Structures are given as C-alpha cells and as structure tokens.
Structure 1
Amino acid sequence: MTGPTPRDDAEIRRRLGAPGFGVHASSSEEVDMVNAALFLRRPLIVTGPPGVGKSSLAHRVSRELGLGRVLRWTITSKSVLKDGLYAYDAIGRVQEASARGAGDGRDAHDGSLSDDPALHGLGDFIQLGPLGTALVPHEIPRVLLIDEFDKADTDLANDMLEVFEDGEFRIPELARVRSRMPSVTVHTDDPDDTHEVLHGRMRCRAFPFVVITSNGERSLPPAFLRRCLTLEMPPPDADRLAAMLAAQFADGGGAERSTMIRDFLSRALAGGTLAADQLMNAEYLRLSPNGPDADSLNRLLHSLWHRLDEVGSA
C-alpha cells in the first residue's frame, strides 16, 4: 500500500509566506483553469514574464487543497523524459555485484549473479524522478511543477505526450526481471520514501496536478499544446504586490511600503521587465536592522531594479 503524501510546509511557507497573512485572492480565471486541469486530467501551462508567480501557483494549490509536498522538475537544455521518470545507477549496481562476488569467491561477470539473492537489492539502485513520483498511485493527486520549460529541447514535449495521456510508464530494468521479481521496492523523489513497483510498471491512481511554467520565449509543438490547458498570468498590480510583501514580511507595512510599491510599478510601466523578487529584495534591505539607510537604499534601487531584458545585452 502507498502511504500518505509527504508534507513540506517549510518549503511552502518559504515560497508563500505564513498562512493567512497577506495572501491575495486568486483571480476567477486562475480558479477556473486550475479546476479544469484537475477535472480534465490535463497539465496546466502557465505563461507570463519572470517574477509574476508562475511557480508559486503550484504551491498555492497544494496549500489550499492540502495536496502535500510539491514535486519539482527544473528543466535544462539537456533534460530528457527519463530524467523526470527515474534514474538507474548501473555503475553502483555493478560495483556492489563485484563486491558480493568477491566476497563469496565468484566472478561478477560469470552470469551466476542472475540467480543470486543480490538481485533482490536491485531497487536500491533505482530512484524515481519528480514525474515518476507524481505517478505513484496515491489516493489524492500529487502536485508536480515542471519549471522553465522554455529551456527544453523540442523532443521533450513530444516525448511527454504518451506519459500524460496514459498516466503510466515502464521501467525496463525491472520489466526484464518481472518473472523472477514481480515486486521491487524503489526510492522516490520524496526524502526517505520508497514505493513498491509491480511488474516493472508504474500507473497513477489520481492524475497529478501538473504546472508547466513558460516565459513564452519559444513555441511549443501543437500536439503538446492541444493536450494541455494554458493560463497567462499578467504582471502583478499594487494590491497583489502588497499581499506578497505582507505574506513574507509580517511587519513593516504602511506608507513607506506603499511608496516603494508605487515606485516599483512606475519603473516597470516605464518599459522593460521587472520581477516581484526584485521588489522583495528591496523590502528585505529596507526592513533589515543592519541594512542601508534610506539614502543608500534609494541609490541601490537603480541596481536592484534593473530590467531583466537588459541583463547580458551589449
């Protein structure tokens, strides 16, 4: 049996702040799209400029629905589907087999290890990735955040289609030995957690709530878009920024915070891309007992609130 979904309240608190403090109400569009993604069993692609809260949507849904720890798969240009599903430590497996063979006087390459009790340790060398763990058959859905999908190779989106359609995947290393080992316990992406895999195949019971973030820097394959829902998040307004700051900094509101938010929005409206994290950095310095004085902070704002679309440009 699969145990309860692990919690990670500290991580959610770090990202969202304390529960009930300054949390802004989700827009009707956000609520509708999240509900549609849950009912239709479809991944939700969340687009928008950096710093608008795309990643935090996954944590907000997890907190509000009590879905536990958010699984996160951060994409790079080298990411492939298997990275998200599972990893097999073949080298570690060979090293242990060699050590066992040396211990009982056998050659690790003579073929006799196929019937050795050491085969029962195969699961120790298999670790489910974030996507694979999201497909563990829990009673309630897991929340999976696939972050920075713009960096992915085009093939990754196409390769993910079958997994999203079927809600299952195969682990070849376990499928090959299923007649001798129909049940293998492997590690998951959750700390200190394991799961029993039957016949080398994993199939979800409740389809995970999948948030895929994108900055809109590249187009995604039409076949992939057709199987997903899309939510575009606008830049945060003054009320939303105030709620975000209140959640992270319980004290220090008032006129000075309002002035900083107004100045931040004025600079954002003047052109370019700014992220809410840049405002939080400024507020942290303003409230820090050992931080800069008001004049120094005003001078720092030019660097703190640099346009993100100018970074690295010549």
Structure 2
Amino acid sequence: MTAGEFLIYQGTGVSDPTGDRIRRRGEPPPWRRFDGEPVTPLERDGAAGRRLPERARAVPYEADAATVRMVNVALHLRRPLLVTGDPGTGKSTLAYAVAHELRLGTVLRWPITSRSTLTAGLYHYDAVGRIEEATTRQDVQPSDIGRYLRLGPLGTAFAPYELPRVLLIDEIDKGDIDLPNELLDIFEEGEYRISELERISDATPLVKVRPADDGRQVTIQDGRVRCREFPFIVMTNNGEREFPPAFLRRCVQLRLAQPEEARLRAIVEAHLGSDVLAGSDELIADFLSRRGRGQLATDQLLNAVYLLLSAGVEDRPDREDLIDVVLRELNGSP
C-alpha cells in the first residue's frame, strides 16, 4: 500500500489551483473500497466556488488545527464527520470550506427535520406525473422513467462520481430517533437501490436520472447505486440528543468550541477587512462579555461590527439599542 499525503485539507481558504491535492490521499482501507459504475465526471468548480453567498462563507472560514486534523482523518478513513457545537461555531460552513478548497463542486445540503426520511434523502419518484403522461401520450417508453426520478442530496452523494462529493447533513439531531441507525447501512455499504428501476432492469438496465444539484445526469445500472469514492459527509449536531454507539463508532467526531478573542479577531478581519477590524476592539470586548453571560453566535458579532462600522450606526443616538438588538442572547427571552 502506497502512503499518501495527510494534509489534503489545509484550512487556508485558498482553492487548490491544480485540483490534484484530493487525489494525493492514500488508498482507502480495504474495508472502505467501493467500485460503483458507470463513473460520472464531477463538475469541480460548481456552486461552492460560484455562488456568492457560499463563496463568501467558505473563503474566509477560520479552521483551527484540531478542525484541520479531524477533517483529514475523515477524508483518509472515508468516514462521516460528526460536528458538534453551539450555534454559530461554523459547523455547516466547514462543508463549504472543504468543497471550496479542494474544488469538489456543489455542496449537497440535506436539512433535517422531524419529518425527514431516508427515502426522501435518497430519491423522489413522480409516479403520478408518469401515469398522467402515459395516459395522454402514446409514445411513452419504459426508458423514459428517468424523467420522473430525481436523486436527493444523500442519493446524489453516493452516486459513482470520480471524486468524492461533499454532503452536508444539517442538524441531524433534529431528525427521527431511528434516522441515524437507518443511515448506518448506506454508510457501511456505500450503496442503495431504487426499486422502480430494479423492476425494469431486464428490459432497461441503464437509466439516466437528475442529481439533486441539477448537474450532469447520473447513469444508474440495474437499479443499484453504488459510490466510487465515499463522499465527504459533514453531519452537524447541536448536542440536543445522544446517538447510539453503533452510529458514533462509524463517525469521526469533532467538537467545535466557541472561538476566543484572537480567533474572533481573525474571523472579523477575514470577513470584513483589516480596516474594519482596527475599529472593532470595543465591540469584540463587549461581545465576549455578553457571551460570558449567555449564548451568542459568532455571526452575531459579524453583523454587529458591520452595522456599527459600515452602516452609519456609530454616531447615532440609538447606537446601543441597535447593538443590543443584534447581540440578543440566543437562550434568552425575545
């Protein structure tokens, strides 16, 4: 087995100019090798690098040494990364930062609620639309079934792409109590099946379907979807519940702490510039004092700094009232 390069993700916020770094990982462990086909090329400069809101979050992301280390552990072991922390610590942004730096295309986001199901995350089949078209058209063929299928974010991530997709499973602790256990099988086997395609596989073995991000169509063979490269999965957790040991032992676990003053200053500078940072010392000190008394998120500080120094609030008589509105404690009364 040939040794690879450990620091694939470096936390710099700079997109890999050659795009080769992700290919310098070592070979996967024998128990984490997958062979899905047909292989789908990855559009590497997708929305993580194009859309302004996503790029604005990813580029200035401040990853500490522990975060960089655990991201690389997950990348090399081909395991999901379970990220726990208070709101505003950058749990979700981490997925966009990795996708941007390693040029892994669009981030596939699956926001979890109490009504989320595994099947909905995998794919959606518009049976009603197919029946309606079949009754109005005489030329509908079995091979047309792909027009009525759309992969979900989870299902797209496990399609056989040439490079790993980035999947954000946001707030997994808000899901049904059985969802983590339901995810175990696909995390271990790296595959799932689409029963609607299995039924017609003898007559139509290859079907093209739309991915969740509307990118290049994915070709599915015999109704079986199996990854070629295990996706980089970030599952965010606000710590509102415990997970079963069987689920935890299959994850790489990362806990994000609230950033201290030096890192807060770096975050403000990265997002708003050194000139803004120079005038925000008093507000950063105020933020830290308030955070010591109640729950605050880092993006509240960014909003307050912007409001104070870029929106003409500094000299207003209601300056303190406006700052209070933005820096309201998250665990306090409205």
What's 1:191 paired with? 214
Q: Alignment partner for residue 180 of structure 1, among 189, 203, 206?
A: 203
Provide, for residues 8-54 of structure 1, a one-character-per-residue CA deviation record: whole Å limited to 9, x for no partner.
112431323xx4xx653x32221221111112111111001100001
Provide, for residues 99-150 of structure 1, a one-character-per-residue CA deviation record: whole Å limited to 9, x for no partner.
11xxx4xxxxxxxxxxx64322100111111111111212211111100111
Q: Alignment partner for residue 308 of structure 2, among 283, 286, 290?
A: 286
Work out whether residues 252 and 287 of structure 1, in 8 Å CA contact, stay in contact via their aligned partners in 2.
no
Q: Alignment partner for residue 129 of structure 1, among 152, 165, 169?
A: 152
User: Structure 2: any 5+ residue segments left out of the alignment?
Assistant: 1-38
Aligned length: 292
- SS at 1:253's partner residue? helix
Root mean square deviation of aligned Cα:
1.9
Q: Alignment partner for residue 272 of structure 2, among 229, 232, 249?
A: 249
How many percent of aligned residue pairs carry the same amino acid? 47
Change (3 A) 1:287 1:92: farther
Provide, for residues 159-182 of structure 1, a one-character-per-residue CA deviation record: whole Å limited to 9, x for no partner.
000000011100001011100110
Matches within 5 A, 1:19-58: 19=59, 24=62, 26-58=63-95
Is 2:164 aligned against 1:149?
Answer: no
What's 2:142 paired with? 119
The normalised TM-score by structure 2 is: 0.82
Q: Alignment partner for residue 68 of structure 1, among 105, 113, 124?
A: 105
- SS at 2:214's partner residue? coil
Distance across 1 between alignment mates of 2:277 and 2:298? 19
Work out whether residues 168 and 234 of structure 2, in 8 Å CA contact, stay in contact via their aligned partners in 1.
yes
How big is the shift at 1:66?
A: 2.0
How big is the shift at 1:277?
A: 1.6
Distance across 2 between alignment mates of 1:212 and 1:23? 18
Aligned partner letter, 1:80: T
What's 1:84 paired with? 121
Work out whether residues 61 and 93 of structure 2, in 8 Å CA contact, stay in contact via their aligned partners in 1.
no
Q: Alignment partner for residue 330 of structure 2, among 291, 308, 311?
A: 308
Is 2:25 aligned against 1:3?
Answer: no
Which has more radius of gyration? 1
Aligned partner letter, 1:306: R
Is 2:54 aligned against 1:12?
Answer: yes
Distance across 2 between alignment mates of 1:179 and 1:287? 66
Work out whether residues 51 and 276 of structure 1, in 8 Å CA contact, stay in contact via their aligned partners in 2.
yes
Structure 1 stretches of 4+ moved >6 Å: none
Larger helix proportion of the pair: 1
- SS at 1:84's partner residue? helix
Q: Alignment partner for residue 273 of structure 1, among 295, 299, 307?
A: 295
Moved more, 287-296 or 152-161: 287-296
Work out whether residues 23 and 243 of structure 1, in 8 Å CA contact, stay in contact via their aligned partners in 2.
no
The normalised TM-score by structure 1 is: 0.87
Relative contact order, CA 8 A, sep 6+: which one is greater?
Answer: 1
